Amino acid sequence: MAGAFKGFGQKAIPFLKALDFHQSREWFQENRALYESDLHEPFCDLVETLSERFLAAGLGLRGDRKKSLFRINRDVRFSKDKRPYNQHLSAILSPDGTKMEQGVFFVYIGVDRCFAGVAWWQPGPELLQAMRKAITAKPAVFRALVAALKKNRLEIDTEGCLKRAPRGFEDVTDADLAQAIRNRHFAVRHNFDPATIHTPALVDDLVDFTIRARPLLDWGRAIQGKAG
């Protein structure tokens, strides 16, 4: 580990803005040293510092500087948008340290916004079905989850939910439960000011958010243990 997170460089966001403007491999190579010093290395330190803090808090989430980060290069093979670079950096910390697990922490540092999330994101059909069944079979448990998140100043994101009830759940009449089972994923988000990314205090903010989001992790893990 290179060291504890000390903050992103002051030129982190300006670099991303310039990269998005140029979208040029030549420009990126000319400015790679700035990318490494102000963005990439601090982001690696952030991931590993969060991994240590999450371990200490018993959150069951971990990551490292090699496996957790997404590449700044875009995969343009199947996209009409051929711009070679993202305008953000992002990473996932998960139960096994890979990007393939469910019940994860996600962090995004970008030109457009900076945010973190705790999510069961697009779970496979088996797990998603189990989550929907759990909502209808034990509504009190789900409502207790929603109440716990609300107490912690969080709410489940409804972005991208189905417009109609999924097959087998058409008879659910309670509005809150009907809304919940239309979700394709279960996630909570925390937006933070880009001005706050330059100090170590960002770690405390993200750990606090993840602890507040723990009821969602625990709810999904309990169902995941029964799915299948």
The pLDDT tens digits of the residues spanning 129-175 come to: 999 999 999 999 999 999 999 999 999 999 889 999 999 999 999 99
CATH at residue 96: 3.30.930
Task: Give the per-residue pLDDT at 225.
Answer: 84
Asked if residue 43 lies in contact with residue 8, where contact means CB atoms within 8 angstroms, the answer is yes
Paired with 70 in beta bridges are: none
Residue 101 lies in a domain: yes
Q: Based on the structure, what is the number of domains in the chain?
A: 1
Range of the domain at 119: 12-226
Residue 150 lies in a domain: yes
Q: Is the dihedral of CA 7, 22, 69, 41 positive or negative?
A: negative
Residue 48 lies in a domain: yes
For range 98-120, the mean pLDDT: 96
Q: How far apart are CA 62 and CA 80, in angstroms?
A: 34
Residue 7 lies in a domain: no
Confidence of residue 200 (pLDDT cuts 50, 70, 90): very high
Report the predicted TM-score, pTM, of the whole model to 2 decimal places: 0.93
Using DSSP, state whether 104 is helix, strand or coil: strand
Residue 5 lies in a domain: no
Angle of CA points 66, 68, 72, to nearest 5°? 85
Give the position of tokens 């996630």: 187
Residue 3 lies in a domain: no
The pLDDT tens digits of the residues spanning 114-136 come to: 999 999 999 999 999 999 999 99
For residue 8, give the nearest of 39, 51, 54 by alpha carbon. Answer: 39
